[in-house]
Structure 1
Amino acid sequence: MKIVIAGGTGFVGKVLTSFFLNQQHDIWILTRNPRPSSGRLHYVDWEHALPYVQQADVVINLAGVSLNSGRWTEERKKAIIQSRVSTTQKLVKMMKTSSKKVFINASAVGFYGTSTTETFTEASPSENNDFLASTVKAWEAEALKAKEYGIRTSLTRFGIILGQNEGALPKMILPYKLFAGGTVGSGEQWMSWVHIEDVVRIMAFIIEHEDLEGPINVTAPHPVTMKEFGQTIAKVINRPHWLPVPDFALNILLGEMSMLILKGQRVLPQKLCDHHYSFTYDKLEGALTHLYRSNGH
């Protein structure tokens, strides 16, 4: 199978590329900084991407400026939105002449807005227009235009992806390693999480199941509160959970970006459950134990 990945050099992209290469698929990474090809792995400049995108069986879009790479200044917020919308527009435009294709567009559970009381599934509407929700809506609107060309389109709404060395988890676990971990904010905010191994397996699962399309929540079936998350980290790496971090401190430190930590949503992967996807890591303690205790941390 021929797979094109935009954003293939990022956290998820690297793990996904390795996974598909192990399955003997041919991978083309779209990048502004091409490297030499190696076996089944190829790097292609965006300016020369058209024939590769048209010939691909699967196109996966993970591209976009990282949400947690700096304070959300007005300039950075524009870059976060524009990088996602413009990349998606380019891919959809390149795909429009080849309909027998699967298009998987990364998205986020931020679509639903934040709540400490509601539970969200793919059937839930978004009645929120905060920065994250607005970004996701604009991003998904561009991706869904691929359906007009007969392309099966899936919107993978990621929760917080847990990986050992990249993503949000290393930053979240650092205070505990320094014996300074504790509940962040009220602790009642929900954290919908997913292990990186399940992320890549879910992508493959979507490709294999032709009736999986539209929004798909890529989260484990057992979300936790931030207090429970912190307590589980402390248990797994054998550190105390004692020093609370108040809302105002994070607001000063992170500005508007603090909403990633101080607010959350309880999101369930209803479509994946309905299709009997079997999570490798469905409970948080097992996921964290795999990432840290089994790796000598």
Structure 2
Amino acid sequence: MKIAISGGTGFVGLSLTKELIDKGHEVFILTRSIKNKKNTEKMTYVQWLNEGDHPARALEGIDVLINLAGESINSGRWTDKRKKNILDSRIFTTKEILNILNQFQKKPQAFIQASAIGYYGLSNTLTFTEESTHTGSDFLAQTVQKWELQASAAKEEKIRTVYCRFGIILDKNGGALPRIAMPYSFFVGGTVGSGKQWVSWIHLHDVVKAIEFVITTNEIEGPVNFTAPNPVSMREFGKTLGKVLERPHWIPAPAFALKIALGEMSILVLEGQKVIPNKLVSHGFTFSFPKLDDALKDIYRPVTN
């Protein structure tokens, strides 16, 4: 298949690109600059978002378009300017993706859009599936809702559209896990906040596998929760992490201190939601790492030559 990816050099995009190429697909990476980027037999860089760029010409005939672009929510303290950049980057790139889709003479089979479980809002008591109608009113929830609404225009072109509602993606070299694990490296790890908040997590390996699954499963459309089937409390997450790293779990990080240090951004660790991947499971997707203990052991397994 011919698959185009925006955000292909990001945290998820790098792993996804490698996997798709290894599986024999031809991948096109949308990038602001092709300078110093070398094409290969199976990977082509396509310039976009600059005046005079015509990415649709290079992408005509693709089978799937995947949009992973957007400024990281972990990129810094959430000032008013930062929050505007987080939202605007998602809306702007999604609009540009839709513009590309509109120019195609032959529409792709599927449009796969990044999203997040923040859509549902924050709760320690509710359980969310793709059928849940509950939506949040906090900044992240509103951002995700606007993001999905913008992307939904692709359905007007009769393109199968999927919103990948990512949970906390676990990997040793990216995402939130290195920051969460850092205190344990210095023997000062412990429960964050109350410890009762839910952590709906997923191993990066399963994220990539699930995107591949969505690409080839034509019956899947709309929102899809990209979380492991066994969410845990933050207390359990910390205890499990400490056990895997063979470090103590003992010094708590109180909520008030994190709110002072991180401001509004502290909701990323002090609040959460219990999210279940009903749609993936009901369509037969098999998680390689359904349990947190196994996921963390794989991530931190000793490197052997």
User: How would you bin the TM-score normalised by the shorter chain?
Assistant: over 0.9
Q: 1:179 aligns with which of 187, 191, 205?
A: 187
**C-alpha distance after superposition, 1:228-284 (max 9, x if no partner):** 000000110100000000001111111111001000000000001111110000000
Deviates more, 1:121-130 or 1:230-239: 121-130
User: 1:210 maps to which residue?
Assistant: 218
TM-score (norm: length of structure 2): 0.95
Q: Offset at 1:288?
A: 0.2
Residue 65 in 1 paired to residue 67 in 2?
Answer: no
User: 1:158 maps to which residue?
Assistant: 166
Q: Offset at 1:6?
A: 0.3
Residue 87 in 1 paired to residue 93 in 2?
Answer: yes
Q: Is the 8 Å Cα contact of residues 220 and 282 (structure 1) preserved in structure 2? A: yes
Q: Distance in 1 between matches of 2:290 and 2:302?
A: 17
Q: Distance in 2 between matches of 1:277 and 1:101?
A: 20
Q: Percent identity?
A: 51
Deviates more, 1:27-36 or 1:229-238: 27-36
Residue 19 in 1 paired to residue 25 in 2?
Answer: no
SS at structure 2 position matched to 1:201 = helix
Q: 1:146 aligns with which of 137, 151, 154?
A: 154
Q: Distance in 2 between matches of 1:125 and 1:294?
A: 43
Q: Offset at 1:293?
A: 2.5
Matched letter for residue 295 of structure 2? A
Q: Offset at 1:43?
A: 1.1
**C-alpha distance after superposition, 1:57-114 (max 9, x if no partner):** 0100000000001001111101100100111111112112433421100000000000
Q: Is the 8 Å Cα contact of residues 65 and 108 (structure 2) preserved in structure 1? A: no
Alignment of 1:1-297 (within 5 A): 1-34=1-34, 35-46=37-48, 47-96=53-102, 97=104, 98-295=106-303
Q: Distance in 2 between matches of 1:255 and 1:55?
A: 46
Q: Is the 8 Å Cα contact of residues 236 and 293 (structure 1) preserved in structure 2? A: no
Q: Distance in 1 between matches of 2:155 and 2:123?
A: 31
Matched letter for residue 39 of structure 2? S
Matched letter for residue 9 of structure 1? T
Distance 1:53 1:91, change over 3 A: farther
Q: Distance in 2 between matches of 1:127 and 1:110?
A: 9
Matched letter for residue 60 of structure 1? I
TM-score (norm: length of structure 1): 0.98
**C-alpha distance after superposition, 1:110-141 (max 9, x if no partner):** 00000000000001113321100000011000
Q: Distance in 2 between matches of 1:58 and 1:188?
A: 40
Matched letter for residue 130 of structure 2? E
Q: Distance in 2 between matches of 1:294 and 1:268?
A: 30
Matched letter for residue 178 of structure 1? F
Deviates more, 1:258-267 or 1:39-48: 39-48
Matched letter for residue 75 of structure 1? K
Q: Distance in 2 between matches of 1:181 and 1:39?
A: 46
Unaligned runs of at least 5 residues, structure 2:
none
Matched letter for residue 233 of structure 1? L
**C-alpha distance after superposition, 1:15-52 (max 9, x if no partner):** 00000010111111111122121221111110231123
Q: Distance in 1 between matches of 2:134 and 2:146?
A: 13
Matched letter for residue 42 of structure 1? T
